[in-house]
Chain A
Amino acid sequence: MSEQELILEEEAAPEGLQELEQRLNTPRSLLAIDVGSVNTRALLFDVVEGRYRFLAAGVAPTTAGAPMHDASEGVRYALDTLQRISGRTLTTADEQLIIPSTRDGAGADNLASTLSGAPPLKAVAVGLLERVSLESALNLLGTTYVNVVETISLAKRRHIEQQVNTIVKQRPELVVVAGGTDGGATRSVLGLVNALGMAISLIPPDQRPDVVFAGNRALAERVSGFLEPLTQVHVTANVRPALTSEQLGPAETLLADIFRRRHASRILGIGELNSWSGGNLQPTAMSLGRITRFLSLLQPHGALAVDVGASATTVAAGFKGDLRLRTFAGLGVGSGLQAILHSRKLEQITRWLPLEIDPGYVLDYIQNKILTPATLPAERDDLAIEQALAREAMRMALEQSQARFPRNAKRLHPELLPVFDAILVSGAAVAHAPTIAQSLLMILDALEPTGVQQVILDKNNLAPALGAAAPVNPALVIQLILDPISFLNLGYVIAPVVSARTGAPVLRIRIQYETGHSNIVEVAMGDLKLIPLPGGRRARLEIDCFHRADVGAGPGRSLRLERPVIGGPFGVVVDARGRPLRLPGDPRARLETVRGWHMALGR
C-alpha cells in the first residue's frame, strides 16, 4: 500500500474519497499554531517548487495565564514574528487572520491548531477492577492533559465516604466511568455510578464535571438516565469491551472534544483559535499520536515519538497503526520538574552530568527552575543540569508507558524499549540543545534504543502540527512526514544488547557505500563510535556479532539489513555501551565515562 493510499484509508471515513482526492491534488498553504505552556508557535507551510515545505516559525511567550489571561495575545505576537521572518502577510490591519489565502499571496488556506499550555483538567477515573476497567479508564485519561485526583473501584468501595468527600473537595472537571465488559457486569457498575452521582449532586451545578461513560454498553441508557439530571453525560464505546481487549479510539476523540470545550470556556482566546481552525483544535499530544500512528503504518517495526515539554511529556508509540499514547501532565523540564524530584533520587539526575557540580546547587537549580520555567540555561553548569533532567523526564515517561506497549512487540531485552524503525524526539530541552551531539546523547542515554533504529530530531515541533493538519491537508502530511529538510535525521543507531568486559570485540560492521567501495569497522564493548556516511547518502550494512551481542537477529547472530541506512550528521552511530546502560558507581570514574561519551560524539 502506498503512503497516499494509507492516508486515504485513514481519512476516508469523514468524507467521500472523491472529495479527499481533490483536496490531495489542490496545493494549499497551511498555518499551524501551537499554544504551549511556555511558548506559542506559529508555523507556516506552503508549496515551493512543486513540493510542500516548512517555511518558517514565529515564537512568542504564551499568554493564556497571568497577567494577560488571553491566549490570543501570544498568538498575535507569534504571528507578528512569523510575518517578519517569512515576509508574508498573514493578518489584516485589524489583526484578523487572512484565511483562505488571497490572490496576492497573503494569508494561508487552512489553519490547524494544538494546545498543551493550559492547566491539566482535574479528572476522576471510575472502574470495576483495578487491573481491568479502572486501568483502561486511566489509560484513556492518559491520552490527554489531565491530573487524576481520585480513582474509584470495587476494591475501594468501602471507602465510599472518603471518595464522595474527595470528589466534592477536588471538584473534578472530568470523570471517566469504565466497567463491565459488553454483556458483563451491571449491578456493580451501577453501584459505583450511584456513589459518583451522590458526590456530583453535592457540587454546585456550575462546577460539575463532564462524565464520560465508556463501560458496558447495556448500561449506557441507565447511567445516562441517572446522571443526566445532574450533569453532562457523554456515552462512548466501551474502552474494555472484553477482559483482554482495550479500545480507546472513539473515547479519545470524545475526550479531545471535552478538552477543547472546557478550555475554550475558561481561557480567553482558545475559543477564537478553535473557531479559526474549524472547531478542530486538538490537544498537542493527540496530534503527536496521530502522526506517530501514520508513521508506524509506513514502518515494519513501528515508530516512537517522545516530546519533552516544560510542563508535560508525551510518549506516542505506534505499532502498525496501533497507537499507544500516554501524556504525563506535570512531568517536564520546567514546572513539571516537581514530578522528577518526587520520583527520582538526586544521584539519578547527577549521574548524567559531565561536569563536577555540587549536588546542593543542582537541587537549588531545580527548585528555582520550577519557579521560573521560562528561563534559559546561559551557563555551562546550568545547561548540564537541564540536560540531565531532560534525560530523566524521558526515562520516567518511557518506564511508565512501556506497560501499555503490545506484548508481541519485538524486544531485544525485557526491560528495554521494543525495536522501532524510527524514533522522533521533540521538545526544546532536547531539540534546541546547543549542539546536535548533545541532542543525540540525551536521546541515546534516555531511550536506550536497541537493534538498528533511525533517530530523528523535530527541531521545530512540526510533528503535532502535521497531526492536526492531517484532516485538512493530507497531501502536506504525506510529503512532509520525515522530510529530511523539515526533520533532522540524526542518523541510524546500531545498539547491541550485550554484556561483555570493556574492550572485548562485540561487533564487526561491514558498510557498503553507494560508490561501490566498502569498509569494515570493529566495535568493542563500551564504544560509542561513528561510522562515516555523508548526510543523505545510503549504504548497506552487514553486522557480525560476538559475545552473544544481539542487534535484532538473535544473540550472537549476524544481521544483514534488508533496507539501506541513510547517513546523518554523525554518519552511522554505533552505541556499544551495553544494555541496559550502566554507569560506574565511583564518582570520578563516572565523570570520566560521561565525558568520554560527550567527546566521542564531538561535544
Chain B
Amino acid sequence: MLAPVTHISALARIRRRRMLPVPGKVLVRAGQNVAATDVVAEGVLAPEYAVLDVARALGVSPERAAQYTEREPGEALSKGSLIARRGGRSVIAPRDGRVAALSNGQLLLELRSKPFQLLAGIPGTVMEVTADYGVTIEGVGAWVQGIWGNGHINSGPLAVMADGPDDRFGTDKLDPSQRGTVMLGGNCGDRKTLEGAAALQLRGLILASLATPLIPVAARMPYPILVLEGFGKLAMNAAAFKLLSTNAGREIAVDAEPFDRFTGERPEAVIGLPSGGQPPIPLDLENFRVGQRVRLSRAPRPAGVGAIRQLPDGLARFPSGLRAVAAQVEFENGDSLLVPLANIEVIG
C-alpha cells in the first residue's frame, strides 16, 4: 500500500520550484546562491482595475465615446491626467495607472500596484531559471516538515525554548535576549504568547501544536509560525524534537506556507548545512514495509514515532469497531501497537 512521507531528515537534498502564477520578472540567475528570504522573482499577481464610464460622463452613446477619448491602450497615466473631454465635460485618471482597454464606452485603467515578491523559501543554489516565472532551487541541510503554516517566510538563529517534546510554550519562554531568533516551542495555548512573540520581533516560531481557538490569531501574526503535529495539546514527535534541539544556534529558514495536499506545498523548516557530497533527494511516497521508521498522525498515539514490525494480512479490528489494514508499530519506549495504515506516515 502507498505510504505518505513526512520528511524529518538530518541531511537531505531539497529541491523546490518557486514559480509565480502569472508572468513576472526573475531576479536571480542560475548558479547563484540564495538565502531563504531573498526575492527570486516578482510580479503583479492580480492587478486592480478602475472602470471609468466615459460615455456616461461625457453624455454620449458608448459607440461615440472613443472619438472623445484622448488615450490609447497601453498608455501610462498619472493621477489627474486627462482621459477624455467633450465640451465642458471631462474624465480624468483617479490614480496612477495604465490604460488597459476601451470597450463599449468604458475605459479600464490598470492601477499601479505593488508587485508580489516571491521569496526563495529555502537556502540553496538556483539550479534552473524558468523565464518570466521563477526558479528551481536546491539546498542541502536538515529538514523538518510540518502540517500547518501561517503563510510567512523568514529565517534566523534557532533558539530552543522547549525543555522536551511535550513542553508548554507560554509567555515565560519569551526571553528578551532571544529577540530576532526562530524559537522552538512545544504546545502553545494562549494568545498573549503569540502576541508577545510578535513584540519580541521573532523571525519564526516552530511549535508542536497550537490550541484550535488560536488559529485565527496565529494566521494574523507577522512572523512565520510552523506547527509540526496539529491542533490541541500534542507533543512534538521525538524525531523532529531531537533533530531541531540539537541544532540550537544554527541559522534556520522557516517557510510556513499552508499545507495543500493537492499541490504538495507543505510548511517546512530547513537548516542549511555544508555538505561534502550531494545527498539524495528523498522520495515523497513509498510503499509500506517492515522496518520503516514511522510517525502516527492520529490516536492512539498522535505524533508517536516507532518502527513497523509487522504488516499483517487482512483487516484488523480497532477499539472503535472499525476494521482496516494495519501495521504493528513498535515505539521507541518498547511499546507495541496495532495501528491503521491510514494513520501512519513514513519518516523520510
Q: Do A and B bind each other?
A: yes
Show the binding face of A for B, using Cβ within 8 Å.
60-61, 63-69, 77, 119, 160-161, 164-165, 168-169, 194, 197-198, 201-202, 204, 335, 360-361, 363-365, 367-368, 371-383, 432, 434-435
Contact flags B1-32 to A (C-beta < 8 A → 1, else 0): 11011000000000000000011000000000
Residue pair A434, B323 in contact (C-beta under 8 Å): yes
Residue pair B49, A66 in contact (C-beta under 8 Å): no
A116 to B230 CA separation, bound complex (whole angstroms): 27
Known: A169-B46, A374-B342. A198 touches B51 (CB 8 A): yes
Q: Which residues of chain A are within 8 angstroms of B262 by Cβ–Cβ distance?
A: 64-66, 119
- 7 additional A-B pairs beyond A168-B47, A198-B106, beta carbons within 8 Å, are A60-B2, A376-B298, A378-B320, A379-B299, A383-B320, A434-B320, A434-B321
In this complex, what residue of B is CB-closest to A373?
B261
B232 on the A face (CB < 8 A) = yes
A569 to B178 CA separation, bound complex (whole angstroms): 65
Known: A367-B215, A371-B147, A435-B321. A201 touches B231 (CB 8 A): no
Which of B46, B284, B343 contacts A67 (CB under 8 A)? B284
In this complex, what residue of B is CB-closest to A169?
B46
Nearest-neighbour CB distance to chain B for A524, whole angstroms, equals: 30
Q: Which residues of chain B are within 8 angstroms of A365 by Cβ–Cβ distance?
A: 232
Contact flags B311-348 to A (C-beta < 8 A → 1, else 0): 00000001111111000000000000001101100000
B100 on the A face (CB < 8 A) = yes
Known: A202-B49, A376-B342. A66 touches B324 (CB 8 A): no
Known: A67-B264, A201-B101. A382 touches B23 (CB 8 A): no
In this complex, what residue of B is CB-closest to A117?
B262
Contact flags B234-266 to A (C-beta < 8 A → 1, else 0): 000000000000000000000000011111110
In this complex, what residue of A is CB-closest to B343?
A375
B60 on the A face (CB < 8 A) = no
Residue pair B212, A363 in contact (C-beta under 8 Å): yes
Nearest-neighbour CB distance to chain B for A110, whole angstroms, equals: 28
Which of B46, B100, B106, B297 contacts A375 (CB under 8 A)? B297
Residue pair B23, A204 in contact (C-beta under 8 Å): yes
Q: How many A-B residue pairs have CB under 8 A?
A: 142
Q: Which residues of chain B are within 8 angstroms of A201 by Cβ–Cβ distance?
A: 101, 103
Q: Across chains A and B, which 6 residue pairs bring their CB atoms closest together, nearest first?
A: A66-B264, A434-B321, A364-B232, A67-B284, A65-B262, A383-B320
B290 on the A face (CB < 8 A) = no
Interface size class on chain B is: 35 or more
Q: Which residues of chain B are within 8 angstroms of A363 by Cβ–Cβ distance?
A: 212-213, 231
Residue pair A383, B321 in contact (C-beta under 8 Å): yes
Residue pair A66, B46 in contact (C-beta under 8 Å): no
Residue pair A378, B318 in contact (C-beta under 8 Å): yes
B72 on the A face (CB < 8 A) = no
Known: A65-B264, A371-B148, A372-B298. A168 touches B46 (CB 8 A): yes
Q: Which residues of chain B are within 8 angstroms of A161 by Cβ–Cβ distance?
A: 49-51
Nearest-neighbour CB distance to chain A for B227, whole angstroms, equals: 9
In this complex, what residue of A is CB-closest to B233?
A364
Residue pair B340, A164 in contact (C-beta under 8 Å): no
A580 to B252 CA separation, bound complex (whole angstroms): 57
A383 to B320 CA separation, bound complex (whole angstroms): 6
Q: Which residues of chain B are within 8 angstroms of A67 by Cβ–Cβ distance?
A: 5, 264, 284-285
Nearest-neighbour CB distance to chain A for B331, whole angstroms, equals: 15
Known: A194-B104, A363-B212, A378-B339. A371 touches B259 (CB 8 A): yes
Q: Which residues of chain A are within 8 angstroms of B46 by Cβ–Cβ distance?
A: 165, 168-169
Residue pair A376, B212 in contact (C-beta under 8 Å): no
B161 on the A face (CB < 8 A) = no
B300 on the A face (CB < 8 A) = yes
Known: A65-B263, A364-B232, A371-B148. A198 touches B320 (CB 8 A): no
Residue pair B212, A364 in contact (C-beta under 8 Å): yes
B48 on the A face (CB < 8 A) = yes
B108 on the A face (CB < 8 A) = yes
Q: Among A164, A194, A368, find the residue whose CB has the most chain B CB atoms closer than 10 A.
A: A368
In this complex, what residue of A is CB-closest to B259?
A371
A435 to B51 CA separation, bound complex (whole angstroms): 60
Contact flags B150-187 to A (C-beta < 8 A → 1, else 0): 00000000000000000000000000000000000000
Which of B212, B302, B320 contacts A367 (CB under 8 A)? B212
Which of A361, A376, A380 contacts B324 (CB under 8 A)? A376
Which of A165, A204, A379 contacts B300 (CB under 8 A)? A379
A68 to B2 CA separation, bound complex (whole angstroms): 11
Residue pair A204, B320 in contact (C-beta under 8 Å): no
Nearest-neighbour CB distance to chain A for B301, whole angstroms, equals: 10
Q: Which residues of chain A are within 8 angstroms of B230 by Cβ–Cβ distance?
A: 364, 367-368, 371-372
A435 to B317 CA separation, bound complex (whole angstroms): 12
Nearest-neighbour CB distance to chain B for A383, whole angstroms, equals: 4
Residue pair A364, B231 in contact (C-beta under 8 Å): yes
Q: Which residues of chain B are within 8 angstroms of A61 by Cβ–Cβ distance?
A: 1-2
Nearest-neighbour CB distance to chain A for B91, whole angstroms, equals: 15
Residue pair B320, A164 in contact (C-beta under 8 Å): no
Nearest-neighbour CB distance to chain A for B313, whole angstroms, equals: 11
Chain B, 34-66, CB within 8 A of any chain A CB: 45-51
Nearest-neighbour CB distance to chain B for A263, whole angstroms, equals: 12
Q: Which residues of chain B are within 8 angstroms of A160 by Cβ–Cβ distance?
A: 51
Nearest-neighbour CB distance to chain B for A172, whole angstroms, equals: 13
A375 to B297 CA separation, bound complex (whole angstroms): 8
A201 to B320 CA separation, bound complex (whole angstroms): 55
Residue pair A379, B319 in contact (C-beta under 8 Å): yes
Nearest-neighbour CB distance to chain B for A385, whole angstroms, equals: 10
Residue pair A378, B319 in contact (C-beta under 8 Å): yes
Q: What are 21 A-B pairs with beta-carbon distances under 8 A?
A: A64-B262, A65-B262, A66-B260, A161-B50, A168-B47, A169-B45, A169-B46, A202-B110, A204-B23, A360-B232, A363-B231, A367-B215, A368-B302, A371-B259, A372-B230, A375-B297, A375-B342, A375-B343, A376-B318, A376-B322, A379-B319
Q: Which residues of chain B are within 8 angstroms of A432 by Cβ–Cβ distance?
A: 322
A361 to B232 CA separation, bound complex (whole angstroms): 7
Known: A67-B284, A161-B50, A371-B148. A378 touches B2 (CB 8 A): no
Which of B100, B263, B302 contacts A202 (CB under 8 A)? B100
Residue pair A378, B343 in contact (C-beta under 8 Å): yes
Q: Among A60, A202, A361, A377, find the residue whose CB has the most chain B CB atoms closer than 10 A.
A: A377
Q: Which residues of chain A are within 8 angstroms of B231 by Cβ–Cβ distance?
A: 363-364, 367-368
Nearest-neighbour CB distance to chain A for B104, whole angstroms, equals: 5
Q: Which residues of chain A are within 8 angstroms of B50 by Cβ–Cβ distance?
A: 161
Nearest-neighbour CB distance to chain B for A123, whole angstroms, equals: 18
Nearest-neighbour CB distance to chain A for B9, whole angstroms, equals: 16
Q: Which residues of chain A are within 8 angstroms of B302 by Cβ–Cβ distance?
A: 368
A383 to B284 CA separation, bound complex (whole angstroms): 29
Nearest-neighbour CB distance to chain A for B249, whole angstroms, equals: 31
A286 to B173 CA separation, bound complex (whole angstroms): 55
A165 to B230 CA separation, bound complex (whole angstroms): 35
Q: Among B50, B215, B318, find the residue whose CB has the most chain A CB atoms closer than 10 A.
A: B318
Nearest-neighbour CB distance to chain B for A402, whole angstroms, equals: 31
Q: Among B4, B47, B320, find the residue whose CB has the most chain A CB atoms closer than 10 A.
A: B320
A382 to B261 CA separation, bound complex (whole angstroms): 22
Residue pair A198, B101 in contact (C-beta under 8 Å): yes
Contact flags B256-278 to A (C-beta < 8 A → 1, else 0): 00011111110000000000000
Q: Which residues of chain A are within 8 angstroms of B323 by Cβ–Cβ distance?
A: 434
A141 to B339 CA separation, bound complex (whole angstroms): 41
Q: Which residues of chain B are within 8 angstroms of A372 by Cβ–Cβ distance?
A: 147, 230, 297-298
Q: Which residues of chain A are within 8 angstroms of B339 by Cβ–Cβ distance?
A: 378
Residue pair A434, B48 in contact (C-beta under 8 Å): no
In this complex, what residue of B is CB-closest to A74?
B2
A381 to B299 CA separation, bound complex (whole angstroms): 10
Q: Which residues of chain A are within 8 angstroms of B213 by Cβ–Cβ distance?
A: 363
Nearest-neighbour CB distance to chain A for B335, whole angstroms, equals: 15
Nearest-neighbour CB distance to chain B for A312, whole angstroms, equals: 14
Q: Which residues of chain B are within 8 angstroms of A374 by Cβ–Cβ distance?
A: 4, 342
Which of B1, B51, B284 contacts A66 (CB under 8 A)? B284
Q: Which residues of chain B are within 8 angstroms of A364 by Cβ–Cβ distance?
A: 212, 230-232
Q: Among B5, B51, B110, find the residue whose CB has the most chain A CB atoms closer than 10 A.
A: B51
